[in-house]
Amino acid sequence: MKRLWACVVILVLLITICTYGTVETKKVSEQMAQTIESARQAAQAGDLEKAQKLSEKAADDWHNYHEVLCTFMPHAQLEAIDQTLSGLPMLCYFEGMDQFGADCDRGITQIMYLNEAQLPTLENIF
């Protein structure tokens, strides 16, 4: 009977951890995608200073989220996003706008992929 109670505790813990992981990833990915999108729009509108600030903010935010996300996500996926976001402020500073736009899109895609990979959909399960 004690083992069955241990089983119930494990089940509750697992549900909590898995739900937290999914919700946290969704929240982080939406916030990050929004910030990068704003940076891209600012760059398109010619406001490079704002674009640089937003891309710096995106890189800083990502570093903060990274600590939490790396406890339950494969590190290779997170590092790929890290590399994309780290280059954005520099691209903005040196006015490499084509490259900046392309890297913003890449960053958004990578972040959205991160979210999609966490969802318990049929595609992901099978």
Partner 1 sequence: MNKPQQEEHTICGDKKMTISFIRTLLLYTIIILAVRLMGKRQISELQTSELVVTLLISDIAAIPMQDTGQPLASGFIPIAVLVMCEIVVSALMLKSTKFRKIICGRPIIVINDGKVDQKEMRRLRMSTEDLSEQLRQKNVFSFEDVAYAIVETNGKMSVIKKPDKEQPTAGMLGVALPDTGLETVVISDGVISDFSLQLCNKGREWLEGVLRGKNISADQIFIMTANRKGDFNIIKKDAKQ
For position 7 contacting partner 1 by CB under 8 A, the verdict is: yes
Query: What are the backbone dihedrals phi and psi of residue 45, each rounded to the nearest 5 degrees, phi first?
Result: -80, -5
Q: What residues between 8 and 47 interact with partner 1 by CB under 8 A?
A: 10-11, 13-14, 17-18, 21
Q: 100 with 91: CB under 8 angstroms?
A: yes
Rounded Cα–Cα distance for residues 70 and 74 (Å) = 7
The half-sphere exposure of 8 on its side-chain side, counting CA atoms within 13 A, is 4
For position 61 contacting partner 1 by CB under 8 A, the verdict is: no
- One of 68, 73, 80, 97 touching partner 1 (CB under 8 A): 73
DSSP 70: T
- One of 23, 75, 119, 121 touching partner 1 (CB under 8 A): 75
Site for partner 1, rule CB under 8 A:
3-4, 6-7, 10-11, 13-14, 17-18, 21, 48-49, 52, 56, 70-76, 86, 89-90, 92-93
